[in-house]
Structure 1
Amino acid sequence: MSAQKVALVTGSANGIGKSIVEQLAQDGFAVVINDLELNREKAEAFAEELRQKGHTASVKFADVSDFDQVKEMVESLDRLDVMVANAAVVAPVDFITDDHINGWQKTFDVNVKGHLLCYKFAANKMIAQGWGGRIIGASSIVGRKPEPGRMTYTATKWAIRGLTQTAAYELGKHGITVNCYAPGLINSEIAQQYMASSPQAAEMMNQVIKSSAVGRIGEPEDVAALVSFLASEKSGFITGQTVSIDGGIVYT
């Protein structure tokens, strides 16, 4: 078994996940890029780019909402020290009074079931290895402070916080910490797509920027720096926490 620590990041062919992979590679991890098969070209080009820089990088294709695919992905690794469950989808603008629940099932399948499966199989792998590990999930600012028109997405991000806290209780005795990061508005592809989806969505996001203490949109590298710490040995006494990284919007 390789002595180099391994970090798997889901949904990491682009956006925040990509920045997290880049940071963890710089931190000395052998990184595993996960994404859907439809993003094969981006993922493989990214892995090659990292290898050209001297890092150890590989690619695993899997849909995080599929039990068997996640199980096979994790079990295929020689070792696993850090699991970052980053993959997510954003639901369309929706209100509690709408006469539909479009996007509800898919959003819960990817965001919540996807986290559950990543946590489950990472935990099993880490327990079997016997030396602990780090499991890190992706909540959101709306997992602390709901916003109108984001009913489905908000519900998933609150669920991830609960899942994270429960997993932390169960896995602490194995030397495994479980935390998640809660970004505010981050300059990523998924945020740009959401803002472009409707004038209403764009206005919501602009209000978020105006309400922050630092008065700017966040960058993927801001989130990657936080994940770097949560993945490190220095974070060993932190578990069950959701850490906000939002430029000063929600104070806890």
Structure 2
Amino acid sequence: MASRGVALVTGAGLLLCDWPRTAVAVNDVSSKSENLDELVEEIKKGRGSSKCTADVSQDEEVRAMIEQVVKQHGSLDVMVANAAILGKEAPFIETTAEQWDRILAVNARGSFLCYKYAGIQMINQGRGGRIIGASSLAGKQVIQPSLTAYSASKFAVRGLTQAAALEFGPHGITVNAYAPGAIDTPMRRCNFAYSMTAENYPTPSVVGSAVRGERLEQVADQHFLLPVEMHWMTGRF
């Protein structure tokens, strides 16, 4: 099968998404470099891959990351701004400015920078592209208390997605975001003491398949955003 392009997935150190016929560059912070090595080897079994470490909250690091991907793979056709942090639970009035700034820096500013530099590259290439952000059910409706900054950051991703969709649309670039429910990942397990089941999750009505699966693609399958048949859909989340 012919490749359908080059994809960059940020925050990939703790998840594996199976994207056939796509060359994949994966990113995470340097502390998760070993996780990326394992992921790259798995991806290499079916297609080309590479890794790049960068802090998505830092402007120059995101710009350099995009340049590295293009240098190694020749182009950038799909940008998945997946990197995010959850932060510790804290009541609204006990959330510190430092906690707020860090979560918004990674989740909101990081998404903005990934959208921006991916958009610049795709516009320069002149053949369109796909930009996909990571929102959350918590970015549509606050589904549990004590996650003030996280919820605000995911609401921000919705606004970024629609704003970018309007501006990038004339260039043939679609911008969408997926909004999964809670997923049983290491990030979530290190922040919450309770196990994730329909019985003890704060809002059972929005758990659905999130409790049953451990892989992101079982809950929010980004494949529907990638086929050429879906080129008309943008600004959705």
Q: Same fold (TM over 0.5)?
A: yes
Question: Who is 2:33 aligned against?
Answer: 40
Contact 1:185 1:208 in 2 (8 A): no
Give the unaligned 5+ runs of structure 1.
Answer: 243-252
Structure 2 counterpart SS, 1:183: coil
Instruction: Tell me whether 1:5 sits opposite 2:5 in the alignment.
Output: yes
Structure 1 counterpart SS, 2:38: helix
**Alpha-carbon distance in structure 2 between the residues aligned to 1:4 and 1:144:** 31
Give the unaligned 5+ runs of structure 2.
Answer: none
**Alpha-carbon distance in structure 1 between the residues aligned to 2:135 and 2:52:** 23
Question: Who is 1:160 aligned against?
Answer: 157
Contact 2:165 2:175 in 1 (8 A): yes
**Alpha-carbon distance in structure 2 between the residues aligned to 1:121 and 1:129:** 12
CA offsets per residue over residues 166-194 of structure 1, 9 Å max, x none? 00000000000000011101121112222
Instruction: Tell me whether 1:144 sits opposite 2:140 in the alignment.
Output: yes
**Alpha-carbon distance in structure 1 between the residues aligned to 2:113 and 2:14:** 21
Question: Who is 2:125 aligned against?
Answer: 129
Q: 1:218 to 1:130 in 2, by over 3 A?
A: farther
**Alpha-carbon distance in structure 2 between the residues aligned to 1:236 and 1:117:** 23
Structure 2 counterpart SS, 1:178: strand
Instruction: Letter of the 1:217 partner, please give it.
Output: V
Q: Indicate the RMSD between aligned Cα atoms, in angstroms.
A: 2.4
Instruction: Letter of the 1:191 partner, please give it.
Output: R
Identity of aligned residues (%): 39
Q: Compute the displacement of 1:205 (Å).
A: 8.9
Q: 1:178 to 1:92 in 2, by over 3 A?
A: same
Question: Who is 1:207 aligned against?
Answer: 201
Instruction: Tell me whether 1:74 sits opposite 2:66 in the alignment.
Output: yes
TM-score for the superposition, normalised by structure 1: 0.83
**Alpha-carbon distance in structure 2 between the residues aligned to 1:213 and 1:11:** 23
**Alpha-carbon distance in structure 2 between the residues aligned to 1:99 and 1:73:** 32
Q: 1:99 to 1:154 in 2, by over 3 A?
A: closer
TM-score for the superposition, normalised by structure 2: 0.88
Q: 1:89 to 1:221 in 2, by over 3 A?
A: same
CA offsets per residue over residues 184-230 of structure 1, 9 Å max, x none? 0112111222222xx6x9799923463347476153232452x1111
Q: 1:205 to 1:47 in 2, by over 3 A?
A: farther
Q: 1:172 to 1:211 in 2, by over 3 A?
A: same
Match of residue 63, structure 1, among 47, 55, 65: 55
Structure 1 counterpart SS, 2:154: helix
Instruction: Tell me whether 1:49 sits opposite 2:45 in the alignment.
Output: no
Q: Compute the displacement of 1:98 (Å).
A: 2.4
